[in-house]
Amino acid sequence: MVCRKGVESIDILLTLLYLFIFPGFIFLFAFSLFTEYLDRKIYARMQRRVGPPFLQPFADLVKLSAKEDVVPENAERFMFTAAPIIGLAAIFAAFLYLPIVSSTGLHSFNGDLIVVLYLLTIPTLAMFLGGWYSGNVFGQKGGMRVASLLFSYEIPFFLTLLTPALIEGSWKMADIVTFEITHPLVFIISFLGFVIGLIALQGKLERLPFDIPEAETEIVAGPLVEYSGRRLALFRLARDAEMVVGAGLLAVVFLAGPEPIVHLEPVYLSWIVGALVFLAKTLFVIFLLILIKSAVARIRTDQMISFAYKWLIPLTLVQIFIAIIVRFLGGI
Amino acid sequence: MFKGLVKWARIKSPWILHMNCGSCNGCDIEILAALIPRLDAERFGVLLKGSPRHADVLVCTGPVTKQMKERLKRVYDQMPEPKFVVVVGQCGSSGGIYQGAYGVEGGIDKVIPVNAYIPGCPPRPDAIADGLIKLLASIAKGGNP
């Protein structure tokens, strides 16, 4: 009995470690800031600039947190404050379901892929609400743009992430990951889906060429126009964390996440290797996102919607059709 | 220690807001030239922001016209504390050749408190960058310049 108690307490300790330190909140926090640094640095190098120093995102965060707390007169105080917190909380929750150290995450169940997809939609909604309740015309305009562009990238993003699930026949990310590593042909079949997912993720993160909601030259800063101080810091952190989680999701679903797992004797060692593989794949996806950002300019709202409906969604349907045929022919 | 951290962050990440209060556009072009890739202001953490709510440093140009006086005050009030004001150009510093004109209020410091002046008509882009860095250095020393 005593022995059992000891084992349980160790499990609780490990779970807490997973939740809060690695790969939980603190790690995600640090990795998001590092991603922002990478984003700005590579972007700068591609423009033949030197770029910001390493601790720049951290300095921005600290500075914003120490600034005066302003709530505009026209803003609705509760929603104005709640919006960034809701967005950040949804992202952090989504991160816990990703399989990072091994093929099962903290808690793996049938349908966790769909849960992560829905959790990743919430920050967009928070952005819209924050802009809408800030009581500024530019904020409301930006909020409307966020909401109206939602459908143009969300449909291809959802559909394309479901193709590996269709090939495999399970909504569980752990199953998808292990299936992909035993059947490498899936990578070739779902390559088109990966490209579509990359473009749709760029739209989801509101980065170039889809930064229409924020369009600095048109509507100042879009939904964030009235945000200052720590609320703005939370929104920026949520944006960076969303980039990490979105890229991580693509890496899990299309690039087999932490696999191939090397089984080493103390189980901790194989977890560390798994996490390193996962990080390498995530950084690869993030690098592709930065390449897209530095290569293109902003497009108009109507151009984005017609691009999504004329190209992205038909191509996604082609990808799904391929997946169904593969399944019909008896799998791979 | 926490205070030191905040001070370090403040020096490392000055986000600027550019405002033209009636300038002839000469200084404004030079400010834009100070932000080009060749000088790369992002090395020092400088970002040009569109909204006064995001900004830490207000970079003003030109003599304040009577039309612009209220707007300048309002933009200054919209910025969250702590905030700093840098004036670029001769006209902004003292009114310049527009001193005493019927539609002109005078220099920027007649309307809002100013932390740093960058003289010149117009100042060179590297002078503007240097002025901003001197402002940051004076914040590092503590107290207002």
Q: Which residues of B touch A226 (CB under 8 A)?
A: 51, 53
The helix (H) or strand (E) run that includes residue B18 is: strand B15-20
A220–B50: do the CB atoms touch at under 8 Å?
Answer: yes
Give the residue, B88 or A265, on which the prediction is more confident: B88
Contact by Cβ (8 Å): A103, A174 = yes
Calculate what percentage of chain A has a pLDDT beyond 90: 13
Q: Report the pLDDT averaged over residues B62-88.
A: 89
Task: Say what the pLDDT of residue A3 is.
Answer: 43
**Dihedral sign (CA A100, A282, A253, A151):** positive
Interface check for A226 against chain B (CB to CB < 8 A): the answer is: yes
Give the pLDDT of residue A287: 92
- Check CB contact under 8 Å for B45 and A227: no
Helices A137-168 and A112-132: crossing angle, nearest 10°?
170
Confidence of residue B110 (pLDDT cuts 50, 70, 90): confident
| Residue A4 pLDDT | 46
Q: Are A325 and A166 in contact (CB under 8 A)?
A: no
- Whether residue A235 lies within 8 A of chain B, CB to CB, comes out as no
Does A52 sit within 8 Å of B9, measured CB to CB?
Answer: no
Q: Do A225 and B53 touch (CB under 8 A)?
A: yes
In this structure, whether the domain defined by B2-141 belongs to CATH 3.40.50.12280 is answered with yes
The rounded distance, in Å, linking the Cα atoms of A162 and A166 is: 6
How far, CA to CA in Å, does B123 sit from each of B48, B90, B116, B130? 19, 9, 14, 11
Identify the pLDDT of residue A10.
63
User: Which residue in the set B12, B45, B54 is minimally distant from A228, CB to CB?
Assistant: B54
pLDDT higher than 70, residue B69: yes
Answer yes or no: is pLDDT of A254 > 50: yes
Alpha carbon distance A191, A303 (integer Å): 25
Would you list the domain boundaries of chain B? 2-141
Q: What percent of chain B has pLDDT over 90?
A: 4
Alpha helices in chain B (DSSP H): 2-12, 26-34, 66-78, 90-94, 125-141
- Relative to beta strand B47-48, strand B64-65 is unpaired
User: Do the Cβ atoms of A51 and B43 come within 8 Å?
Assistant: yes
Q: List the beta bridge partners of residue A101.
A: none
Whether residue B144 is predicted with pLDDT greater than 70 in this model: the reply is no
pLDDT digits (tens, 9 = 90+) for A166-192: 888 788 887 788 777 777 777 888 888
Chain B residues with beta carbon closer than 8 angstroms to that of A47: 37
Domain interval for residue A218: 2-328
The per-residue pLDDT for range A116-171, each reduced to its tens digit, is 888 988 988 898 888 888 888 888 888 888 888 888 888 899 888 888 888 887 88
What single string gives the DSSP state of each residue in A239-289? Answer: HHHHHHHHHHHHHHHHH-TTPSPP--SSHHHHHHHHHHHHHHHHHHHHHHH
A151 to chain B, minimum CA–CA distance in Å?
28
Rounded to the nearest integer, the mean pLDDT of chain B is 86
| Distance in angstroms (rounded) separating the CA atoms of residues B56 and B38 | 23
In contact, B98 and B64? CB cutoff 8 Å: no
Q: Give the number of domains in chain A.
A: 1
Could you please report the per-residue DSSP string of B81-119?
SS-EEEEESHHHHH-GGGTT-TTEEESGGGTS--SEEE-
- Residue range A27-37: average pLDDT? 90
Per DSSP, the three-state class of B19 is strand
So what's the pLDDT on residue A207? 83
| Cβ-defined contact of A229 to B13 (cutoff 8 Å) | no
Q: How many CA atoms lie within 13 A of A306 on its CB side?
A: 5
Query: What six digits make up the tokens of A57?
Result: 């995102």
Judged against a pLDDT cut of 70, whether residue B135 lies above it is answered with: yes
Amino acid A304: pLDDT? 87
